[in-house]
């Protein structure tokens, strides 16, 4: 009995040569399945790698945040250290003046001037600068007008006199200069 006779179907000769139980469509499907399984394994490995990178990045970010917080706390705690160190010679000078007892007016004046110079240098070293705007145009952002005074010799709205100097710390206003401003005679 032939293959054609057994099933009543025509079976091509190429199909009869295939191993028993594996159809051509099934072989291609197995190859595709194996390719998809390999692709899935590769994707899972990449996902695992990305997850590990993510966890490391999160941990590093947390470390940076904690380090920044410690730096801020340290700056708050010890930020005045430089300023305090600069003021110590001024304090020493004043203590020496007090211990020396009564002095003649000339030596007292010289001691006051020396102490004032020490204080000025200490302020300069920490970035404090004096605002002395005599003769400059009035700037309401840096000056505080105490009064306006008529003047024929000065430009209107300029600083005639500095009542009290102002101060800046690294370009930031600490205290405005208190001034008398000129106005046109009228």
pLDDT, tens digit (0-9, with 9 covering 90-100), for 107-139: 888 888 988 999 999 888 888 999 999 999 999
pLDDT, tens digit (0-9, with 9 covering 90-100), for 56-70: 999 999 999 999 999
Cα–Cα distance list, 118 to 87, 103, 132, 171 (Å): 8, 20, 19, 22
Find all residues with CB under 8 Å of 73, minimum gap 6, and list them. none
| pTM > 0.85: yes or no | no
Q: Looking at the domain 128-186, which fold is it?
A: Nucleotide Exchange Factor Grpe; Chain A, domain 2 (2.30.22)
Domain ranges of the chain: 23-78, 80-126, 128-186
Tokens of 176: 């405005």
Task: Measure CA 134 to chain center.
Answer: 36
């Amino acid at each position: 009995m032939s293959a054609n006779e057994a099933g009543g179907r025509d079976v091509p000769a190429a199909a009869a040569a295939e191993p028993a139980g594996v159809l051509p469509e099934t072989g291609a499907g197995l190859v595709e399945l194996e390719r998809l399984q390999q692709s899935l394994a590769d994707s899972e490995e990449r996902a695992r790698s990305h997850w590990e990178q993510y966890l490391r990045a999160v941990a590093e970010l947390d470390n940076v945040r904690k380090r920044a917080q410690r730096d801020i706390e340290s700056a708050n705690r010890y930020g005045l250290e430089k300023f305090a160190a600069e003021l110590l010679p001024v304090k020493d000078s004043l203590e020496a003046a007090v211990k020396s007892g009564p002095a003649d007016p000339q030596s007292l004046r010289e001691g006051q001037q020396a102490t004032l110079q020490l204080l000025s240098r200490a302020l300069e070293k920490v970035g404090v600068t004096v605002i002395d705007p005599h003769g400059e145009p009035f700037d309401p952002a840096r000056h505080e007008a105490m009064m306006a005074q008529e003047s024929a010799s000065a430009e209107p709205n300029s600083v005639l006199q500095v009542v009290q100097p102002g101060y800046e710390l690294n370009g930031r206003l600490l205290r405005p200069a208190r001034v008398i401003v000129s106005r046109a005679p009228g």
